[in-house]
Amino acid sequence: MRRSETVVTGIGLATPAGIGADATWRRLCAGTPTASADPGLAGLPVDFSCRVPDAELAAALGRGLRWRTDRFIHLALAAAQEAIRDAGLQPGEWDADRVAVVIGVGSSGRDTDLHVAQCLTSGRYQKISPTTVPRALPNMAAGEIAADLGAKGPGLGVSTACASGATAIGVGRQLLKGGMCDIALVGGAESACGPLSAMGFWRLGALSTRRHDPAGASRPFETERDGFVLAEGAGVLVLERAEHARARGATGKAVLSGFGATSDAHHPTSPHPEGEGAVRALRAALAEAELTPGDVHHVNAHGTSTKVNDRMEAAVLHRVFRGPPPVTATKSILGHSLGAAGAVEAAVCVLSLQHQSIHPTANLDIPEPGIDLDIVTKAARTCRMDTVMSTSFGFGGQNAVLVFHAP
Catalytic site residues? Answer: 162, 302, 336
| Whether 385 contacts 246, CB under 8 Å | no
Beta strands in 68-205, from DSSP E residues, in sequence order: 99-104, 155-158, 183-191
Computed from CA positions of residues 80, 85, 86, 87, in that sequence, does the dihedral angle turn out positive or negative?
Answer: positive
**Contacts of residue 70, Cβ cutoff 8 Å, sequence gap at least 6:** 108, 109, 111, 112, 135, 136, 140, 191
Cβ burial of 99 (10 Å; 0-12, 13-18, 19+) is buried
Q: What is the dihedral of CA 184, 185, 187, 188, to 10 degrees?
A: -130
Helix (H, G, I), strand (E, B) or coil at 69: coil
- Measured CA to CA, the distance from residue 320 to residue 274 in angstroms comes to 12
Helix (H, G, I), strand (E, B) or coil at 367: strand
| Whether 303 contacts 326, CB under 8 Å | no
Helix (H, G, I), strand (E, B) or coil at 188: strand
- Measured CA to CA, the distance from residue 364 to residue 196 in angstroms comes to 29
Q: How many residues does the chain have?
A: 407
Q: Which of 333, 305, 313 is nearest to 228 (CA)?
A: 305
**Contacts of residue 200, Cβ cutoff 8 Å, sequence gap at least 6:** none
- Measured CA to CA, the distance from residue 187 to residue 165 in angstroms comes to 5
> CA-CA distances (angstroms) from residue 331 to 233, 336, 341?
12, 5, 8
- Measured CA to CA, the distance from residue 249 to residue 70 in angstroms comes to 36
